[in-house]
Amino acid sequence: MTLTQQTTAITDDTTVSIDPMRTGWTPNEPELSPANVSSGDFGQLFATQLDGQVYAQPLVIGDTLIAATENNMVYGIHAVSGSILWSKSLGKPWPASAIGCGDLVPNIGVTATPVYDPTTRLVYVTAKVNDGPDVQNPHWYMFALEPATGSVQPGWPVTIQGSPVNFPQSRFNPFTAMQRPGLLLLDNEIFAGFGSHCDHGPYVGYVVGVRTDTRALRMWATENGSSSGMAGVWMSGGGLVSDGPGRIFFSTGNGVSPPKGPGSRPPGQLAESVVHLASSGPALAAKDFFCPANADQLDRDDMDLGSGGPVALPNPPFGTGTQYPHLLVQIGKDGRVFLLNRESLGGRKQGPNDTDLVVNMAGPYHGVWGHPAVWGGDGGYVYVPENDSVLRAFRYGTTGTGVPALTSVGTSGPIGHYPGSPVVSSHGTTPGSALVWIICPTGPDGADAQVRAYDPIPVQGVLKVRWSANIGTAVKFPVPAISNGRVYVGTRDGKVIGFGSPSQSALTGKTVDFGRVAVGTTGRSAEAVTATRTVTINKVTTTAPFAIGTPPPNLPITLNKDGKLSVPVAFTPTVAGDATATLTFDVTVDGKQGIVGFDMYGTGTKPGFAAAPPSLDFGEIATNTSKNLSVSITNTGDADETVASVTLPAAPFTLNNPPKPGTVIHPSASLTVDVTYAPKVPSPSGGDRSQFTLTGVSQRFVTVPLSGKAINGAPHMTITPMALDFGNVPVGGWAEQSFVIKNTGNLPLTITKAAPPTAPYHPIDPIPEGQELTPGQEYIQRIKFVPTAVGAAPTGTYLITGNDGQGAQTVRFNGSGVQSGPLPPVTGWALNGSAKLSGTDLVLTEALNSQVGSAICPLAVPTAKLSGKFSSVIGGGTGADGLALVILDAGLETDHSLGIGGGGLGYAGLHGVAVTLVTHKGPSDPSDNFMGVATGSKGQQLVYAATTTGIPNLRAGERVVEFRVLNGRLLVAIDGREVIDVAVKLPSPALIGFTGATGMLNDKHSVPRIVISY
């Protein structure tokens, strides 16, 4: 579709996380109701292949979806069909290998989410372009594109360059700068935040503004004392935040942190901070800040506060009726959930005894590489995507003294490494209309990822998965786009995938809201549905505590277009609290069966109180540290409850500002009780336990058990070895080694930074940031060296930091590429099964039945010039089965590969070619003494390209075998006489090794004197 009028529709998705406050909440999506999404026809609409990884969140403008890739390609895609309408190259992408950062490889192009301006009707995009004299001199540009055609507007792009107003001595460094945060449109100006690649310096954080009318550029730096001050603005892709004209909020990472001082007087060093930047004047200027009191420790342990992006909470419901109507939530790598006042962020060490001056703090929980999403219905919820952990639901409430607070009331199952930042869809604030969308990878490389939709309200502490779909390989920190009843995701393998319903539902209806119903009684209502075409309703079902009412409809029934049916429904709650279910219609349309659903919602009431969560477990923490958790106390009845008393817990648990006697809790209202666990000495064997009880004037009460365990100790990261030397490796081949990361302490260790190397050093299953290692647990990090040129490769580094106070540790890699050379001695090969060494001789099996062994060289080599010589010694037993030289496909096998024994010789089932020496006749073998070249197998039976029986007795002493590859042919000789010359396709690169096996008969199979070259 060609866009003729570029006006922003209500359901367009024009910026990262829906809006400038980054709430991630789109309240205009009635078609994405839980019932519609869980119906049978909601699913994948298209998967469009693009050129490059899609890290930036797609935008939706009318019927055009805008997607940008790391190969600097921007696309206009039809939002319904997925067809590509146009594409535009912004220039040559920049290679990540130029700076040695493996966070995002191989290319850097468009990483940040663009933004659409409905006034100029243009999309603004930043790109790193490799158009300088060399890779050390790239450029950052801001482009303005017409979304209907992709054309770059006159006067654009604008080069990002110059010096920040608060640090004119330092010039913007496009080589080290990385633009990750989503762009912000504010007051006819596009703002972009900059950090670095893997903390490679020199760098500082920047905020850059470019006017949409004059293209004038201005710049501000997070550090004004050193060009290596760091304090990058990256926020795991979250956008710069604004809650109104002239106001920008963002968070920063490691660097030089501010000294103790009030937030209203920001210093020139603002690492580990949430910053309020004023943009209304001629120059950008910091107006306010918050920095945790322990920022120095955060910096030392690489626990960036700025790994998480801030989110401004909307009022209502957040902050309504309190002295803090403008709230902001911030979570970083250390997992503490800070609730801040946007009008006075808190400075540093401004609380009692140099603590944090914040509205509320919870945790620590697991760290966050992303940002939360907000649901403004049901009293207010915040959803936090914890890395390598769960999606955590926080309910908004106020303490007994009227202070806003967030209480963890439920979690999902695991959501993977580097999960996306969630997005919430709803129909206004209608109860039962919302869903929480999030992208969940299963591993650090993004493989086997899913997009999931969760119900927003936890049931018994659990967030339920309503719907999910596989998307392939996810990027880091992805954010789904939502528009007009459809959901869109970008992937690491270069796809944009759209999900939705292909057509209008056969039935229309509304959500049934039963309101408040007393436990043990029944509320009644009806669902009136209208047919949009001829449809047969076969049956109608639902789940407890909802039921089909009386009298039930007479089914099946056929409705013509505009025909109506009313279905009576009932709600009989058995416990107090919210309940939802789907009223499911089994239908037949045009001869095809399907499902149509409608949501039902109700609240069970019962006089008294309920606690969510019902108990607080602080887990295991170190002595002389603390953890804050909270519990939400709700009046579950239909009349006011007044607090009479609160029985306090015993030390080391304390209640922070507990509700005072006389506090009134209205029906369905709640108040938050903050609890701190601050042990000074180790706990007894059963841990620390206590409880608090809140009692009402009505004598109804609720008791909340508390538990935790304190121990002396700390985590400690030990890495061995600290350097890997791959030696000489053939160009076209590879070698693999590994190092071990182990927690040798007695408390859990969190990996807070893991910056992998770039080519030619390739990490396999790289350890993710946020990975937790329990005491004694280790992570084996494999590294593959793949040289592409002859000579010594540049030294590679893997920078790893844990939360143990040691700071960053660097593992170094070296290796050289060669054209040819010998395989390393067999003493360095992997031995599998029955294989072992006798001195320097390889023994594959003893003269015992049913043995199978392999020895594989870990060096992958090209095979075009492969040659070698080895001896074979077979005997000492009853005569079976033989051995083989194997040339295995390095892409499908490993140095630990071992095939089927017996007549399979330990080679059957493996991928590659084998030169066999066989001493037992199988069903299809030519004799009980032959050699052959096998190319595969069927079960135990080998498939041969060539065989020969004209050879000496293989069981009579030592036999010398020679082989070489020449012009695509494999030549084999024994005892100096060539016996095989066959054309065969060898895998390349290949792993070279030997296998041997026995069955019901046996021999000892030895291979001394191995010399093989490539």
User: What is the reported pLDDT for 2?
Assistant: 26
* The residue count for the chain: 1014
User: What is the reported pLDDT for 8?
Assistant: 40
User: In whole angstroms, how far apart are CA 224 and each of 39, 170, 233, 346, 639?
Assistant: 56, 8, 15, 21, 58
User: What is the reported pLDDT for 984?
Assistant: 97
Q: Within a 13 Å sphere around the CA of 212, how many CA atoms are in the beta-carbon half?
A: 22
**For domain 507-605, which architecture applies?**
Sandwich (2.60)
Strand, coil or helix: what is 31? helix
- The partner residues of 852 in beta bridges, in order of sequence, read 997
Q: In the chain, which stretches have pLDDT less than 50?
A: 1-9
Type and span of the H or E element at 295: helix 295-300
Q: Within a 13 Å sphere around the CA of 239, how many CA atoms are in the beta-carbon half?
A: 29
User: Is residue 33 exposed (0-12), middle (13-18) or buried (19+ Cβ within 10 Å)?
Assistant: buried
Strand, coil or helix: what is 755? strand
Contact by Cβ (8 Å): 473, 446 = yes
**For domain 717-818, which architecture applies?**
Sandwich (2.60)
In this structure, the number of other CB atoms found within 10 A of the CB of residue 133 comes to 6
Domain residue ranges of the chain, discontinuous segments joined by + = 1-55+414-502, 507-605, 609-711, 717-818, 828-1013
- The partner residues of 373 in beta bridges, in order of sequence, read 383
Token output for 831? 């031995």
CATH T-level assignment (fold) for domain 609-711: Immunoglobulin-like (2.60.40)
Contact by Cβ (8 Å): 399, 674 = yes
- The partner residues of 762 in beta bridges, in order of sequence, read 784
User: What is the reported pLDDT for 442?
Assistant: 84
The two domains 609-711 and 828-1013 share their CATH topology (first three levels equal): no
User: What is the reported pLDDT for 141?
Assistant: 98
- Angle 140-145-151 (CA atoms, 0-180°, nearest 5)? 110
Q: Within a 13 Å sphere around the CA of 217, how many CA atoms are in the beta-carbon half?
A: 18
Instruction: Output the pTM of the full model.
Output: 0.88
Contact by Cβ (8 Å): 780, 740 = yes
Q: Within a 13 Å sphere around the CA of 751, how many CA atoms are in the beta-carbon half?
A: 30
User: What is the reported pLDDT for 10?
Assistant: 54
Token output for 99? 């700076």
Q: What CATH class is the domain 828-1013?
A: mainly beta
